[in-house]
Amino acid sequence: MLSTRSRAVVEATLPTVGAHIEQIATRFYDHMFTERPELLDGLFNRGNQASGTQRLALAGSIAHFAQALVATPEQLPERLLSRVAHKHASLGLRADQYGIVHEHLMWAIVDVLGDAVTPEVAAAWDEVYWLMAYALIHQERGLYSARGVTPETVWREWEVVERRDETADVVTFVVRRADRRSVRTSLPGQYVSVLVTLPDGTRQPRQYSLTRADDGEHRQLSVKRVRGGDTPDGEVSNLLCDTVQVGDRLTLSVPFGDAVLDESGRPVVLVSAGIGITPMAGMLSHLVAAGSDLSVTLLHADLDEASFALRHQVLADVRALPGGRAYAWYERGEGDGLGLDGVFPGWLDVDAVELPAGATYHLCGPIPFMRAVREQLLTRGVPARDVQYEVFGPDLWQADAATEAS
């Protein structure tokens, strides 16, 4: 818990830190990567660093955390911490690396705010940083130990045994373990980090949802090409889609991710758009493997039927579930149905279909899509705590979603 003394100082300086957070984030990363360039090899996503807003995730989350500590000092923002801890653990982050971020972040705060950072102000923000850091270190230690790994053994080699073009832009890879270690079961909706070596020799990790339940031997993941320009954004996905073939080796982390299926026995509604189908495909496959008789409704939005990735697997799984139903919305027309329970033109509209009472909702897709769906659900009276979401990339939605009552 934040000390009373620091709480007053943090409260008084939050508006200034908040107003300068972009500048602080920029200075922080520039300074850190100049001093520690090795962090861009195998750990930080250089695609995120290239895009200004995404740099905000780490530094912004500390300001968000400080805000939460000031508002409710007795309670840590669990959802934020859990998401970050899973992401960190999927990258094999080590506890001793928190000292590096601390050094460069505090340097950036002083660099940007100058004399406003009195020793008292520095001490208060130091306390905020270490509260958050220890909460994360603690969770990450728990995540590693639950999987029987250490930061050094998170990574493992797999052999590609199948490669399927799902759509013009999405490729599915099935990989088989390349050693004798047993394959621990993933939870429905989890992802793995994939670590690749780029043509310039730099290693870069990215996260991809597992799109099929485990069978003790294989994992399946689906990757979307990023079109449009020469941005570092898609360099890993494009390399995977364009070059990886059957027989190649891939380096995958063990599975992580906290946006997993709620298996409390309540009806489940999955709402996805585009490549947001990937965690849903994993969840449906798990439900089929478990012989579930839950009521499960999939609502999916896409450009058209041909761009609906994993549609055959997903539809077969929905049909295999006694309580399964699936509906699609296509921006460019209606498609031939695929055996769906309903196909609609245009944007996804949750009011167009009957939804089970007391359901839990899982959302995945672009943030504006999820925002619109969440809004519709809340308007229908669905409690905010029953709406879970998964953001691909740094989650900058968190701050405003967390401020709404649940």
- The residues annotated as belonging to the active site are 98, 140
Considering the complex, state which of residue 59 and residue 160 has its C-beta at the smaller distance from ligand HEM: 59
Integer-rounded Cα Rg, in Å, for the chain is: 22
CB within 8 A of 261, min separation 6: which ones?
A: 187, 188, 189, 268, 283, 286, 287, 362
Residue 352 structure tokens: 């167009």
Contact 176, 232 (CB under 8 A): no
CB of 394 to ligand HEM, least distance (A): 4
Please state, in angstroms and rounded to a whole number, the distance separating the CA atoms of residues 372 and 374.
Answer: 6
Q: What is the DSSP letter of 391?
A: -
Considering the complex, state which of residue 77 and residue 274 has its C-beta at the smaller distance from ligand HEM: 77
The residue nearest ligand HEM at its CB is 45
**Beta partners for residue 299, in sequence order:** 271, 327
Q: Choose among 17, 336, 358, 4: nearest CA to 328.
A: 336
Q: Choose among 176, 209, 212: nearest CA to 194.
A: 209
Which helix H or strand E contains 8, and what residues bound it? helix 4-19
CB of 176 to ligand HEM, least distance (A): 28
CB of 124 to ligand HEM, least distance (A): 15
Considering the complex, state which of residue 236 and residue 284 has its C-beta at the smaller distance from ligand HEM: 236
Considering the complex, state which of residue 95 and residue 378 has its C-beta at the smaller distance from ligand HEM: 95
DSSP sequence for 162-231 = EEEE-SSSEEEEEEEESSSS--PPPPTT-EEEEEEE-TTS-EEEEEEEB-S---SSEEEEEEE---SSS-
Residues of this chain that bind ligand HEM (CB under 6 A): 39, 43-45, 48, 57-58, 61-62, 83-84, 87-88, 91, 93, 97-98, 100-101, 129, 132-133, 136, 394-395
CB of 219 to ligand HEM, least distance (A): 21
Phi, psi of 302 (to 5 degrees): -150, 175
CB of 38 to ligand HEM, least distance (A): 10
Phi, psi of 354 (to 5 degrees): -85, 130
Considering the complex, state which of residue 57 and residue 244 has its C-beta at the smaller distance from ligand HEM: 57
Q: Choose among 282, 291, 354, 283: nearest CA to 325.
A: 354
CB within 8 A of 36, min separation 6: which ones?
A: 100, 104
Considering the complex, state which of residue 142 and residue 345 has its C-beta at the smaller distance from ligand HEM: 142
HEC readout, 284-353: HHHHHHCCCCCCEEEEEEECCHHHCCCHHHHHHHHHHCCCEEEEEEECCCCCCCCCCCEEEECCCCHHHC
CB of 107 to ligand HEM, least distance (A): 14
Alpha helices (runs of H) in 51-118, residue ranges in sequence order? 56-71, 78-90, 98-113
Considering the complex, state which of residue 93 and residue 314 has its C-beta at the smaller distance from ligand HEM: 93
Considering the complex, state which of residue 88 and residue 286 has its C-beta at the smaller distance from ligand HEM: 88
Please state, in angstroms and rounded to a whole number, the distance separating the CA atoms of residues 94 and 361.
Answer: 34
CB of 39 to ligand HEM, least distance (A): 6
CB of 187 to ligand HEM, least distance (A): 18
Phi, psi of 288 (to 5 degrees): -65, -45
